[in-house]
């Protein structure tokens, strides 16, 4: 593919996998052009045109459905909607393949029929196919080619010489340099822009075509194909059949004129001209080129280059086509008559494809896909079948063998003139090939490390639409007019201009907002602004608050709103003159005119009932039933509270906290305590009528800690003694929350309830529950009922709590089922948190519980909060995810909002956006601070708008997309079967990638998996979501655990969801002081028997010890030289006086400090039974519960994408 097209190039992932295509790494630049045209989605629900029917949401992706129409979850089904197959027709004829170029046979062809995967994903291609596919698939992730979407090579008329990759044996192409004119590595698209599209059948839409220049980098770095494919060979086959990158000679020239082409030097690698980002290695099977960027060297010589395909030896990436790595059902293979989905020709044996070839294949357009444009000579050439037809046999896969059209692709995509031509018979399946090489597919670690290297300067927020560094990178933020990414992260920093474009791409348009996020010490917290008695200056019409997007006019006497364009008078006290540029002269002195985040002092008009709020109160409600006392929980809580009450939240560290406290204990009845300062001893009042809860005392229940300290300490000493011999096992729960709520109402204040609870509330009382845990429902359509509350009582109670500003934090200590799905309703609806300590043991769990409790009590929190997100004309916030309550469609109500809570907001179009003005959003949160002050925190964000899909794919953030998709899916469990939710996720992801492939990537063989550079990790992360305990539980995962995780993830920010789904695994070898070792990928293959590794998920922390770890290491960490003497029950490391021990303990503490929950350390010895738990978090491997490995899932995604495009 042309160099410029990096994006189109298949990623170097290149080798097609039988089942999964390999993704290529996309260049970091972040956009990847998608090689596939957007496809509207296979699922019916996704049909492009009609909004899906069904429940209200679209496919998981927010973009999928038309903006306005909600898409039903059902989208889960995979039915195929129409996808646009082809790009818009191209105007130029595709060049014809050069005759000379033939693909080497080394390349694997995927054409053989591929069996479907056995995986549950769906039919799978045979391994071989997969392999071929992979081979063919290069996962390219290069930057988009300059030329533009169409990455047609320059039009040279001659076919590249066999630039084809012939040279590279592994690939089919020869390595010879491409014809001079043609782009070196990539075959030129048949007709230029069209070419790329050709792939799909039609030329890409013009706008897209020019991807080159604009293409987002694609992820394809071709792995291997340093050498350009010869266009000719490509061309040689009919489109459909050829998978090779090279267009026919004619084709090569075909690139549209507009595309400049890209003629790259012949030597250049096929990848897009833009080198793939350095960081990503091409997906070659071989090791990625050192500089990913350079993927194979651009000009890479043919095979010799690293980039280039390896010689025909087997390429790791390729999978045996015959079998899918995963189990694939054989029948899935495409029928012989159709071209095999992967390659047209039989795939060469896997072995043959060199990893590199993958990349090459990337370039080639898949046979069936051929350039979409007119087939032009290219297509015309021999018949598709086999492609061998008149061309030299090429492999579709671009690997050497020729492949027939893939089954399923009948020749060129629709849109191509030949589209629809009968498919050739599939080539016989090649011999099984080797499994795809994990090193040749996109690596999360590589992407994370590349981003760290790239981020050297502070991130300044003044540039609209600039994507921030990844959440895994440490960076400093300088607020210059847009909110810091610590407060707001978006899925896309280039919003599509129209609803149709959003629907076509299926990329969710959402923001993850963490309004009260804590900032690092070197960043300034938001300034507090006081606009006086009149309150904050706002737009008269839409009520947006004064911000940098307001334009002052008429000498500064009026301002025009950036959100609704309404003109509002400037109050006299706020007037200021304008300078020669139209800015107020005091612009940089006022935070609200120059910064993205700030706070306003709210006036009494912003207070409930128009009166200044009372300071909040904290009420501690402790379960004193038999289980709670016996576990030691009651004693631990009471001892800790004696000291913890000195650390109640306060804004000024010098002042005492104004938060008042109260205490209640309960089992089947409730005990209230009068701890008035004037009493010598606390007094207990018992309320046994739990059906009609009331607070038996007003004065003396909520008190100031310092004034009543002696009475409180006496009470906390007495509670464990009073209930030490209790025999009461039953508990209530509803009345406990009602008691706290009534106490806050009586005191006329907001506040937080800390409930310490141990068992299912089965005692007679409102909110009584029964044990409904039924393993037989798992996996059935009734499973969703287990995630829904079993009684409506708690929903009503939650609503009352929110109205009062009563937030509930629940600490659970269960020994059996407690129905977290129901008990969690009130905490989740009030902005509270749930902490769960299953089988709590004082000895090993106290440290975790107390650290969680301390942080929960001390952290800054706002009460009685209301959040509203305003947007500029053209989009609106339509959906919200998190821990909150909504009584209308716009106001997110939070009884409590702390610094760890994030709210995810989805946007839909209600009109067109313009590229000039971009899109604006303003999140305003009105809350009562812990000192009792009413405030407004405002976060502003401006993003760019684009009319080209390539621009959208160039500026997305995969971590944020995964955060959104996981929340969308987990909420979907309440109303859909788990399998439907999983299928919807896969379908939406396939649509996102297929749209890119069809509309943004250069044409290449269908065997190549082409991923946008900034989304090359979408498949691996999505697989982690699909394999999570919530969506695919192992046999040992309880229903309570699943409900707990489902609720927990609903309010996670992007950093937390990232490490939760893709844990951090660090090798503990030599430490450099101050820097952490580079992480390794989450796979057992990466663990060395002689090493130690630390793995963190945000909830768990493991120290894995290899069976043959060096004795000196064991001595320095555990104090013993013997592996057998290490105690696996350790929850903290011994404090030893040596640098290694000190550094390891510092690392563990720094990990804990970054997370909102304390991670208990678990020591895992190799071959020990606890290793099963540890392995569960090695998410790139196949999971015990049936989840696919990364390699298998990638193949599966490739197959899904091909189906959408065919």
Q: Could you read off the pLDDT of 151-170 as tens digits, one per residue?
A: 434 444 443 333 333 333 33
Distance CA 1051, CA 1057 (A): 9
Q: What is residue 955's predicted lDDT score, i.e. its pLDDT?
A: 94
Secondary structure of residue 36 in the 3-state scheme: strand
The number of C-alpha atoms within 13 Å of 585 and in the hemisphere containing its C-beta is 7
pLDDT exceeds 90 at position 344: no
| Mean pLDDT value of segment 440-458 | 94
683-687 and 751-757 beta bridge pairing: unpaired
| Mean pLDDT value of segment 228-239 | 37
| Mean pLDDT value of segment 214-222 | 44
Secondary structure of residue 350 in the 3-state scheme: helix
**Other C-beta atoms within 10 Å of 542: how many?**
17
Q: Which of 211-220, 310-319, 701-710 has the highest mean pLDDT?
A: 701-710
Using an 8 Å Cβ cutoff, are 399 and 360 in contact?
A: yes
pLDDT exceeds 90 at position 444: yes
pLDDT exceeds 60 at position 383: no
Q: What is residue 1073's predicted lDDT score, i.e. its pLDDT?
A: 65
Secondary structure of residue 941 in the 3-state scheme: strand
Q: What is residue 479's predicted lDDT score, i.e. its pLDDT?
A: 96
User: Which among 72, 83, 80, 78 has a CA at the least distance from the CA of 40?
Assistant: 83
What does the mean pLDDT of the chain come to? 75
**pLDDT class of 141 with cuts at 50, 70, 90:** low
Using an 8 Å Cβ cutoff, are 255 and 154 in contact?
A: yes
pLDDT exceeds 50 at position 678: yes
Q: What is residue 139's predicted lDDT score, i.e. its pLDDT?
A: 53
* Partners of 309 in beta bridges: none
* Partners of 1165 in beta bridges: 1105
Within 1050-1106, where are the H helices? Answer: 1054-1061
**Other C-beta atoms within 10 Å of 411: how many?**
36
Q: What is residue 1005's predicted lDDT score, i.e. its pLDDT?
A: 84
pLDDT exceeds 70 at position 892: yes
Tell me the CA distances in angstroms from 1023 to 106, 424, 710, 757, 1204, one per residue in order: 31, 33, 55, 35, 19
Distance CA 9, CA 189 (A): 11
Tell me the CA distances in angstroms from 377 to 192, 259, 370, 507, 1150, one per residue in order: 14, 19, 11, 36, 62
**pLDDT class of 589 with cuts at 50, 70, 90:** very high
Distance CA 373, CA 235 (A): 12
The number of C-alpha atoms within 13 Å of 929 and in the hemisphere containing its C-beta is 16
Within 923-977, where are the H helices? Answer: 949-954, 958-972
Q: Could you read off the pLDDT of 64-86 as tens digits, one per residue?
A: 333 344 444 444 444 444 444 44
Within 1050-1103, where are the H helices? Answer: 1054-1061
User: Which among 75, 6, 47, 27 has a CA at the least distance from the CA of 225?
Assistant: 6
Q: Could you read off the pLDDT of 6-20 as tens digits, one per residue?
A: 443 333 343 434 444
Using an 8 Å Cβ cutoff, are 79 and 47 in contact?
A: no
**pLDDT class of 908 with cuts at 50, 70, 90:** very high
User: Which among 754, 715, 723, 720 has a CA at the least distance from the CA of 736?
Assistant: 754
pLDDT exceeds 80 at position 800: yes
* Partners of 495 in beta bridges: 945
pLDDT exceeds 70 at position 355: no
DSSP state of 347: P
Distance CA 303, CA 129 (A): 23
How far out from the chain centre does Cα 1124 lie?
40
Residue 1129's φ and ψ, nearest 5 degrees, are -90, 5
Secondary structure of residue 1012 in the 3-state scheme: strand
Q: Could you read off the pLDDT of 752-786 as tens digits, one per residue?
A: 999 999 999 999 999 999 999 998 888 888 999 99
Which range is least confidently modeled, 64-68, 644-648, 881-885, 947-951? 64-68
User: Which among 126, 108, 109 has a CA at the least distance from the CA of 117?
Assistant: 126
Query: Looking at 133-199, which runs of residues are DSSP E strands?
Result: 140-141, 190-192
Using an 8 Å Cβ cutoff, are 164 and 178 in contact?
A: yes
Distance CA 754, CA 567 (A): 47
Residues in the chain: 1206
Distance CA 410, CA 262 (A): 29
888: which residues sit within 8 A by CB, 6+ positions away?
none
Using an 8 Å Cβ cutoff, are 913 and 871 in contact?
A: no
CB burial of residue 693 (10 Å; 0-12, 13-18, 19+): buried
Distance CA 379, CA 153 (A): 17
Using an 8 Å Cβ cutoff, are 608 and 538 in contact?
A: no
Q: What is residue 393's predicted lDDT score, i.e. its pLDDT?
A: 37
CB burial of residue 697 (10 Å; 0-12, 13-18, 19+): middle
**pLDDT class of 436 with cuts at 50, 70, 90:** confident
User: Which among 186, 345, 208, 205 has a CA at the least distance from the CA of 254?
Assistant: 186
Helices (H) and strands (E) in the chain, counts: 27, 31
DSSP state of 97: P
Within 83-192, where are the H helices? Answer: 127-136
Tell me the CA distances in angstroms from 406 to 239, 356, 392, one per residue in order: 11, 21, 17
Secondary structure of residue 109 in the 3-state scheme: coil
Q: Could you read off the pLDDT of 1146-1181 as tens digits, one per residue?
A: 999 999 999 999 999 999 999 999 999 999 999 999
Distance CA 419, CA 372 (A): 8
Which range is least confidently modeled, 29-43, 481-495, 524-538? 29-43
Distance CA 343, CA 266 (A): 25
Tell me the CA distances in angstroms from 432 to 338, 349, 439, one per residue in order: 20, 6, 20
How far out from the chain centre does Cα 578 lie?
44
Using an 8 Å Cβ cutoff, are 1162 and 1104 in contact?
A: no
Distance CA 177, CA 813 (A): 68
Secondary structure of residue 987 in the 3-state scheme: helix
**pLDDT class of 1072 with cuts at 50, 70, 90:** low
Using an 8 Å Cβ cutoff, are 361 and 191 in contact?
A: no
User: Which among 327, 326, 411, 318 has a CA at the least distance from the CA of 365?
Assistant: 411
DSSP state of 417: T
pLDDT exceeds 70 at position 427: no
639: which residues sit within 8 A by CB, 6+ positions away?
716
DSSP state of 589: G
* Residue scoring higher pLDDT (961 or 651): 961
DSSP state of 277: P
Tell me the CA distances in angstroms from 76 to 17, 1047, 1104, one per residue in order: 25, 21, 38
DSSP state of 974: T
pLDDT exceeds 70 at position 313: no
Distance CA 806, CA 797 (A): 11
The number of C-alpha atoms within 13 Å of 563 and in the hemisphere containing its C-beta is 23
Which range is least confidently modeled, 240-254, 596-610, 1173-1187? 240-254
pLDDT exceeds 70 at position 420: no
pLDDT exceeds 60 at position 698: yes
Integer-rounded Cα radius of gyration of the chain: 31
| Mean pLDDT value of segment 188-211 | 38
DSSP state of 115: P
User: Which among 991, 986, 984, 987 has a CA at the least distance from the CA of 949?
Assistant: 991
Q: What is residue 10's predicted lDDT score, i.e. its pLDDT?
A: 38
Q: What is residue 469's predicted lDDT score, i.e. its pLDDT?
A: 97
| Mean pLDDT value of segment 845-858 | 96
pLDDT exceeds 80 at position 735: yes
Q: Could you read off the pLDDT of 114-132 as tens digits, one per residue?
A: 444 434 444 444 454 444 4
pLDDT exceeds 80 at position 63: no
DSSP state of 698: S
Q: What angle do CA 170, 172, 178 make, to 5 degrees?
A: 110
Tell me the CA distances in angstroms from 1113 to 746, 823, 854, 1116, 1119, one per residue in order: 60, 46, 34, 5, 9
């Amino acid at each position: 593919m042309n160099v410029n097209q990096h994006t189109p190039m298949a990623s170097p992932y290149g080798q097609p996998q039988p089942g999964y295509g390999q993704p290529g790494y996309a260049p970091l630049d972040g956009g990847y052009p998608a090689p596939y045209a957007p496809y509207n989605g296979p699922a019916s629900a996704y049909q492009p045109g009609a909004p899906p029917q069904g429940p209200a949401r679209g496919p998981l992706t927010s973009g999928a459905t038309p903006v306005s129409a909600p898409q039903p979850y059902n989208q889960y089904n995979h039915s195929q909607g129409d996808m646009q197959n082809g790009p818009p027709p191209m105007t130029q004829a595709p060049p014809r393949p050069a005759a000379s170029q033939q693909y080497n046979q080394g390349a694997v062809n995927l054409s053989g029929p591929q069996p479907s995967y056995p995986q549950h994903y769906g039919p799978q291609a045979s391994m071989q196919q997969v392999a071929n596919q992979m081979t063919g698939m290069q996962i390219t992730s290069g930057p988009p080619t300059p030329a533009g979407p169409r990455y047609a090579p320059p039009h040279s008329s001659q076919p590249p010489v066999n630039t084809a990759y012939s040279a590279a044996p592994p690939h089919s192409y020869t390595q010879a340099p491409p014809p001079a004119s043609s782009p070196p590595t990539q075959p030129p698209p048949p007709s230029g822009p069209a070419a790329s599209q050709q792939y799909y059948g039609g030329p890409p839409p013009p706008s897209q075509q020019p991807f080159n220049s604009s293409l987002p980098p694609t992820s394809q770095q071709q792995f291997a194909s340093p050498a350009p494919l010869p266009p000719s060979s490509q061309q040689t086959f009919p489109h459909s059949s050829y998978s090779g990158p090279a267009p026919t000679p004619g084709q090569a020239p075909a690139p549209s004129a507009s595309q400049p082409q890209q003629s790259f030097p012949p030597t250049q690698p096929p990848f897009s001209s833009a080198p793939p980002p350095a960081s990503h290695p091409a997906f070659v099977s071989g090791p990625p080129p050192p500089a990913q960027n350079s993927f194979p060297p651009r000009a890479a010589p043919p095979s010799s280059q690293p980039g280039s395909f390896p010689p025909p030896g087997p390429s790791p990436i390729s999978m045996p086509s015959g079998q899918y790595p995963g189990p694939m059902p054989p029948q899935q293979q495409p029928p012989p008559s159709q071209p095999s989905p992967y390659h047209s020709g039989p795939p060469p044996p896997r072995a043959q494809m060199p990893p590199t070839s993958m990349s090459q294949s990337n370039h080639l357009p898949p046979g069936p896909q051929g350039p979409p444009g007119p087939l032009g000579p290219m297509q015309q050439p021999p018949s598709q079948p086999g492609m061998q037809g008149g061309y030299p046999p090429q492999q579709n896969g671009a690997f050497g063998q020729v492949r027939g059209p893939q089954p399923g692709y009948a020749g060129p995509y629709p849109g191509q003139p030949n589209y629809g031509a009968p498919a050739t018979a599939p080539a016989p399946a090649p011999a099984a090939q080797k499994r795809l090489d994990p090193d040749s597919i996109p690596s999360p670690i590589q992407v994370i490390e590349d981003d760290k290297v790239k981020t050297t300067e502070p991130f300044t927020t003044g540039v609209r639409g600039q994507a921030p560094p990844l959440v895994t990178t440490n960076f400093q933020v300088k607020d210059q007019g847009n909110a810091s990414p610590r407060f707001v992260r978006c899925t896309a920093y280039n919003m599509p201009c129209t609803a149709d474009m959003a629907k076509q791409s299926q990329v969710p348009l959402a923001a993850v907002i963490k309004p009260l996020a804590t900032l690092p010490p070197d960043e300034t917290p938001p300034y507090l602004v006081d606009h006086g008695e009149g309150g904050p200056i706002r737009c008269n019409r839409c009520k947006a608050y004064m911000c940098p997007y307001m334009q002052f006019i008429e000498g500064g006497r009026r301002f025009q709103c950036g959100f609704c364009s309404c003109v509002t008078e400037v109050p006299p006290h706020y007037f200021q003159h304008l300078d020669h540029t139209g800015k107020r002269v005091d612009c940089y002195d006022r935070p609200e005119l120059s910064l993205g985040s700030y706070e306003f002092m709210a006036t009494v008009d912003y207070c409930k009932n128009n009166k200044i709020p009372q300071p909040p109160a904290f009420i501690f409600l402790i379960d004193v039933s038999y289980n709670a006392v016996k576990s030691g929980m009651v004693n631990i809580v009471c001892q800790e509270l004696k000291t913890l009450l000195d650390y109640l939240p306060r804004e000024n560290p010098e002042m005492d906290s104004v938060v008042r406290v109260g205490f209640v204990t309960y089992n089947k009845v409730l005990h209230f305590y009068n701890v008035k300062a004037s009493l010598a001893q606390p007094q207990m009042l018992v309320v046994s009528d739990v059906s009609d809860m009331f607070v038996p005392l007003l004065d003396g229940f909520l008190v100031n800690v310092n004034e009543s300290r002696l009475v409180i300490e006496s009470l906390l000493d007495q509670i464990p003694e009073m209930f030490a011999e209790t025999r009461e096992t039953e508990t209530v729960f509803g009345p406990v929350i009602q008691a706290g709520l009534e106490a806050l109402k009586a005191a006329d204040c907001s506040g937080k309830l800390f409930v310490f609870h141990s068992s299912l509330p089965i005692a007679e009382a409102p909110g009584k529950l029964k044990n409904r845990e039924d393993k037989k429902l798992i996996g059935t359509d009734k499973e969703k009922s287990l995630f829904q509350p079993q009684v409506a009582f708690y929903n009503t109670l939650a609503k009352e709590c929110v109205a009062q500003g009563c937030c509930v934090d629940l600490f659970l200590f269960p020994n059996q089922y407690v129905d977290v799905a129901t008990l969690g309703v009130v905490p989740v609806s009030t902005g509270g948190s749930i902490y769960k300590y299953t089988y709590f043991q004082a000895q090993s769990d106290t440290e975790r519980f107390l650290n969680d409790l301390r942080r929960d009590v001390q952290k800054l929190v706002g009460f009685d909060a209301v959040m509203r997100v305003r947007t500029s004309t053209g989009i609106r916030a339509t959906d919200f995810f998190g821990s909150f309550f909504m009584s209308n469609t716009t106001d997110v109500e939070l009884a409590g909002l702390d610094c760890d809570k994030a709210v995810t907001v989805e946007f839909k179009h209600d009109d067109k956006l313009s590229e000039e003005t971009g899109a604006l959003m303003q999140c305003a949160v009105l809350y009562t601070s812990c000192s009792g002050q009413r405030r407004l925190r405002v976060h502003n964000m401006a993003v760019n708008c684009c009319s080209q899909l390539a621009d959208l794919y160039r500026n997305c953030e995969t971590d944020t997309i995964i955060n959104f998709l996981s929340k969308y899916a987990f909420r979907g469990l309440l109303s859909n079967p788990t399998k439907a939710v999983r299928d919807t996720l896969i379908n939406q992801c396939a649509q996102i990638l297929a749209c890119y492939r069809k509309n943004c990537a250069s044409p290449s063989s269908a065997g190549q998996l082409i991923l946008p550079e900034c989304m090359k990790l979408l498949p691996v992360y999505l697989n982690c979501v699909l394999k999570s305990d919530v969506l695919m539980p192992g046999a040992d995962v309880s229903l309570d655990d699943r409900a707990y995780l489902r609720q927990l993830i609903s309010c996670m920010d992007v950093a937390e969801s990232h490490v939760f789904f893709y844990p951090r695994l660090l090798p503990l070898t030599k430490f450099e002081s101050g820097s952490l070792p580079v992480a390794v990928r989450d796979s057992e293959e990466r663990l060395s028997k002689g090493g130690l590794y630390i793995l963190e998920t945000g909830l768990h922390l493991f120290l894995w010890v290899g069976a043959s770890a060096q004795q000196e290491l064991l001595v320095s960490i555990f104090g013993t030289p013997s592996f057998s003497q290490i105690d696996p029950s350790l929850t903290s490391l011994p404090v030893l006086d040596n640098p290694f021990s000190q550094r390891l303990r510092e690392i563990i503490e720094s990990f804990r400090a970054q997370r909102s929950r304390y991670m208990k350390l678990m020591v895992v010895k190799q071959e020990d039974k606890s290793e099963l738990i540890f392995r569960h978090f090695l998410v790139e491997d196949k999971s015990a519960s049936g989840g696919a490995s990364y390699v298998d899932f990638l193949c599966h995604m490739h197959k899904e994408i091909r189906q959408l495009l065919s």
